[in-house]
Amino acid sequence: MLAVVKEQKTKGVRLKQVPVPKPQKDELLIKVKIVSICGTDVNIYDWTPWAQSHINPPIIVGHEVVGEVVEINGKSKNIKVGDLISSETHIFCGRCYQCKIGNKHICENMQLFGIGRNGGFAQYATVPIKTSWKNDKTIPLEEMSSQEPLGNAVHVIHRVNVKGKTVLVTGLGPTGLCAVAAAKAYGAKKIIALNRGSYRRVLGKKMGADEVYEKLPEKYLNKMDVVLEMSGNEIAIQTAFEAARIKATVIIFGIPKKDISLNFGKYFIDKELTVKGVFGRKIWETWEDVSELLKSKKVDLTKIITHRFKLSEFEKAMEVMKSGECGKILLIP
């Protein structure tokens, strides 16, 4: 089968023929229908310090996958051959303290699909049964492949009350775009979104932002009830704290590429802000909520799907991904 393999500890990947994998105990074999490109995959491609500390090549990359189950090696309560499953990237141990108290998404022994083990940029993939989500067949296949960023966004929104609130979203990558949609779905009064590139500002409007800007207009300084920082960009993070009103809640989701400095006194103390870090998605509470949003059409993920490529055109797709002139990019094996 064709697969995208991170073969060397250098920049780039290789498209090559590899054997179809055998599902190990408690794994499924899926025929990959669609796999979408994530920002993480760009890190892996570029071999950034983050990738260097998480990846031990060779590895088949790709984690936002939807596929048809063709073989099951083990017991599964609800998944059968022929079902369409999406993979949860965070493979939890099920035994550590966090797993035991219902926080599997921040498992202390986390393994990552398509990062720490072979993933889904391929025609077939093996996925642990415990991290396979059985999709409702009424949801369009393309939406099934892009639930990860919506899951992140829903998890973010569930950490703060947005109902009737003025919400600022900084950064309109896929998770930022989904955060706009989720804030809208859960009743935000007004949503303002910031993004440097204009392409994604247009998508931000489509997903439900009332106003989009390159930079925060001065009139909004100290006015936001809720700020969702989705970019990890240093300037955006500063803006997030400047936009927050006294007693506001700031959610930090975007991961900065380097250490950044913040004025703790001015922001955290003077404004009495509530600042929360958010990671991943709850397993499976968030997936249930995402499924509801998609089934009820309260969120239409197809609006952010902008490009489709064959898996063999991976390099072309990666180029578009890096340009920022895109929403979600889908690969079809």
Q: How far is the CB of 307 from Zn ion (least distance, A)?
A: 16
Q: What is the DSSP string of 94-111?
A: SSSHHHHTT-GGG-TT-E
C-alpha to C-alpha distances, 214 to 11, 169, 174, 315, nearest whole angstrom: 31, 12, 17, 29
Closer to Zn ion by CB, 147 or 239: give it. 147
Applying the rule CB under 5 A, the residues between 40 and 59 that interact with Zn ion are 40
Whether the Cβ atoms of residue 301 and residue 185 lie closer than 8 Å to each other: no
Token digits for 176?
Answer: 């930022």
**Span from 36-44, 158-166, 178-186, 248-256 in contact with Zn ion (CB under 5 A):** 36-44
Closer to Zn ion by CB, 35 or 212: give it. 35
Applying the rule CB under 5 A, the residues between 259 and 298 that interact with Zn ion are none
**Span from 31-39, 216-224, 256-264, 270-278 in contact with Zn ion (CB under 5 A):** 31-39
Q: How far is the CB of 37 from Zn ion (least distance, A)?
A: 9
Q: How far is the CB of 107 from Zn ion (least distance, A)?
A: 3
With CB under 5 A as the contact rule, the residue among 18, 70, 93, 262 that binds Zn ion is 93
Sign of the CA dihedral with 285 first, then 291, 297, and 302 last: positive
Q: Which of 252, 250, 253 is nearest to 272 (CA)?
A: 250
Q: Which of 256, 79, 252 is nearest to 169 (CA)?
A: 252
Closest residue to Zn ion: CB criterion: 38
| Rounded Cα–Cα distance for residues 100 and 82 (Å) | 31
Q: Could you give the string, one character per residue 101-130, with x where binding to Zn ion holds by CB under 5 A and - elsewhere?
A: ------x-----------------------
With CB under 5 A as the contact rule, the residue among 28, 99, 227, 251 that binds Zn ion is 99
Whether the Cβ atoms of residue 168 and residue 190 lie closer than 8 Å to each other: no
| Binding residues for Zn ion (CB under 5 A) | 38, 40, 92-93, 96, 99, 107, 148
